[in-house]
Structure 1
Amino acid sequence: MNQGQTKRYRQAEQLIKQEKWGPAGDILDALVEETADPAATRQLVRVLYKDHQYVQALSNVLDEPTLFYQDESSASLAVKILVQNQRFMLARLFVANAPKEWQTDLVKMIQTGEQAAQTKYHQTIQQRLKTFYHLGDGSLMEQRQRLEEAYALPLESFILGTRFVLRDPFVHYLIKADIIESLRKLKVDTQLDYLWIDNQEYQVNPAKLPAQNDVSAVKAVRQIIKDQLGDQDAINFQMANQQFDLQLMFLFPRATNVITDPTEWADFLLATLNGHEINDDTAVGRWQRRLMTLISTLAQAGK
């Protein structure tokens, strides 16, 4: 902030001390628009919360949640706002990325909010759960919207809905993968059945899943791509990694079961990108052709 903006920021701080939330918020809102200053954004959210403008405060938190990892007080404020707006799963995911020493107290805040909501907003939660059950009744875009709405559910209700959604053949697999990944981040220790891209059912315990990029086979493929293209062809290097990222979206959480030979996998991927005709009558070839079809279908759905 320049000198004039700093002066206005101090004026806002004086108004906050006087609990004049409206005038303080007006100044801070303008400063955020002008400067995108993190401190001004956090102060604006505090003022909006104090002024009971919870929806607007939520919008600012969701725009840049990482700004609220600055200190425990800011993280606590973000959680209060998420809970106030009944965004319980989003609150838990926010806390999962916070420093570990803060997490216990922050999770307790969420649990208290969930318990209160189960009593006060029981019918609303039940309706959201019913909508979650019918996630598969729509396009991929509509399913993403319904999943976003489901993140307002308390964790217990979300898991209940998940048990049905993960086995629903009409739910797009990328939606299922998003759900499993969210539960992995939350270290949810429970066994879940899911219908995978090969139309077979498998079981997974999210708490025991590694992050996809920590899987040894995944790291090996990335290293091969880097060794072959990293210093020689920046464009193809980027394209290869993007294609591999798309493959991993569909392979999650079974990449290890499919990529049994990282060298063969990387060679096939790179040859395909270069337009080379190669024998695809192998396990790797058949898998990559299947993934290419899924990725192509995904691209068409986005048009």
Structure 2
Amino acid sequence: MNDSQLKKFDRARILIKNGKAHAAATILAKLNDEVDEFRINRALVAANLADHQYMAARRLAEERVSDYLKEKSDAQLLIRVELADQQFMTARRQIAKLPQWSVQLMPLVKDAEENALATMNTSLRERWREFYHLGDTSFKEQQRRMSVANRLPLSYYLKGAMFLLRDPFTNPLIRASLLENLQPLKIQQNVKVYWIDEQEHDLNLADLQAIDSMGVVQQLRQQIADKYANQDPVSLQTAQRELNLQLIYLYPFIDVAVTDPNSWVTALTSSGQLVKPNHSVEKALDWQRKINRLVTRISH
């Protein structure tokens, strides 16, 4: 910041101390547009929080999440802001990244959820009913309701998720998103998941792995990288993008479909040019055709 900007910054901090959060936020918002500095963002978030502009505060903080997760006091501000905007599930996932501070941060979430359950039970139940019946709607509406569901306490979210994971009308991408949202929380809960093979599979949520940490996924990514290494960057990007979509559809049972990573990559990158695929490649092609049909169904 130059001298003029520093004076404005100091003026805004004085205003915050004097209880004039709105005036401070007006100054800091302009500064934040001019200068890319975390301390300005943090001060603006704090001012918006004090001014009860909870959604604005959260959106600003989430623009620089990685900065907020470096220090306990900043992480605490981030969690407070997300809870003020009733983003209970988002706050829980943030804390899952911070095991070193979870003892101090998790009580903030539990207190906020208990307060919401005591004071907003009617609106929470309406929110939950909308989430619970998500499968009755279009894919776009399912996405919207998924976003709104972040504003449910864990008890409500989990109850809805357990039904939606078994609901054949829940889009497979939405089911995968539900599981990805719950994965960092390591909840000891047995659930049944209706998967793309049109069968139910048993799963303990605590056993869920992040996609990128799965050994079979690492093998797939490496094989694609090796195949196109320093030769065809366009084909590499195309194959990576296609693989990423396939993995989302297959999650969390990726290794059920991908029994041979080499054959899967061969099927993925053959572009229909294989004259006589072997059994393993043909099996991979069958799975990939199934995924392509599911993708096509969304766009129609």
TM above 0.5, yes or no, is: yes
Most deviating of 8-17 and 149-158:
8-17
The Cα shift of 1:294 comes to 2.2
Do the aligned partners of 1:190 and 1:207 also contact (CA within 8 Å) in 2? yes
Look up the equivalent residue of 1:68 and give its one-letter code: Y
Look up the equivalent residue of 2:23 and give its one-letter code: P
1:102 is aligned to 2:109: no
- Provide Cα deviations, 1:217-245, integer angstroms capped at 9, x if missing partner: 21111111111102111111111111110
Q: How is 1:163-178 mapped onto 2 (pairs within 5 angstroms)?
A: 163-178=162-177
- The answer for the alignment partner of 1:73 in structure 2 is 73
- The answer for the alignment partner of 2:127 in structure 1 is 128
- The answer for the alignment partner of 2:60 in structure 1 is 60
Give the Cα–Cα distance (whole angstroms) in 1 for the partners of residues 120 and 14 of structure 2. 38
- Provide Cα deviations, 1:239-262, integer angstroms capped at 9, x if missing partner: 111111011010000111111111
Give the Cα–Cα distance (whole angstroms) in 2 for the partners of residues 88 and 277 of structure 1. 50
Do the aligned partners of 1:192 and 1:205 also contact (CA within 8 Å) in 2? yes
- The answer for the alignment partner of 2:237 in structure 1 is 238
Do the aligned partners of 1:42 and 1:67 also contact (CA within 8 Å) in 2? no
- The answer for the alignment partner of 1:276 in structure 2 is 273
Look up the equivalent residue of 2:197 and give its one-letter code: D
| Counterpart secondary structure, 2:135 | coil
- The answer for the alignment partner of 2:116 in structure 1 is 117
Most deviating of 238-247 and 283-292:
283-292
1:287 is aligned to 2:287: yes
- The answer for the alignment partner of 1:16 in structure 2 is 16
- The answer for the alignment partner of 1:227 in structure 2 is 226
Q: How is 1:21-60 mapped onto 2 (pairs within 5 angstroms)?
A: 21-60=21-60
The Cα shift of 1:20 comes to 2.6
Most deviating of 206-215 and 17-26:
17-26
Q: How is 1:155-234 mapped onto 2 (pairs within 5 angstroms)?
A: 155-234=154-233
Unaligned runs of 5+ in 2: none
Look up the equivalent residue of 1:40 and give its one-letter code: I
- Provide Cα deviations, 1:149-178, integer angstroms capped at 9, x if missing partner: 111111011111111111111110100100
Cα gap change, 1:41/1:23 in structure 2, threshold over 3 Å: closer, same or farther? Answer: same
The Cα shift of 1:278 comes to 4.1
Do the aligned partners of 1:92 and 1:110 also contact (CA within 8 Å) in 2? yes
Give the Cα–Cα distance (whole angstroms) in 1 for the partners of residues 4 and 276 of structure 2. 68
The Cα shift of 1:279 comes to 4.0
Do the aligned partners of 2:268 and 2:285 also contact (CA within 8 Å) in 1? no
Give the Cα–Cα distance (whole angstroms) in 2 for the partners of residues 156 and 77 of structure 1. 24
Give the Cα–Cα distance (whole angstroms) in 2 for the partners of residues 278 and 212 of structure 1. 32
The Cα shift of 1:286 comes to 0.9
Look up the equivalent residue of 2:91 and give its one-letter code: A
Give the Cα–Cα distance (whole angstroms) in 2 for the partners of residues 157 and 75 of structure 1. 25
Most deviating of 152-161 and 13-22:
13-22
| Counterpart secondary structure, 1:136 | helix
Do the aligned partners of 2:224 and 2:239 also contact (CA within 8 Å) in 1? yes
Give the Cα–Cα distance (whole angstroms) in 1 for the partners of residues 180 and 83 of structure 2. 22
Look up the equivalent residue of 2:54 and give its one-letter code: Y
Look up the equivalent residue of 1:276 and give its one-letter code: Q
The Cα shift of 1:42 comes to 0.7
Look up the equivalent residue of 1:124 and give its one-letter code: S
Equivalent residues, number: 297
Q: TM-score, normalised by structure 2?
A: 0.93
State the identity %: 33
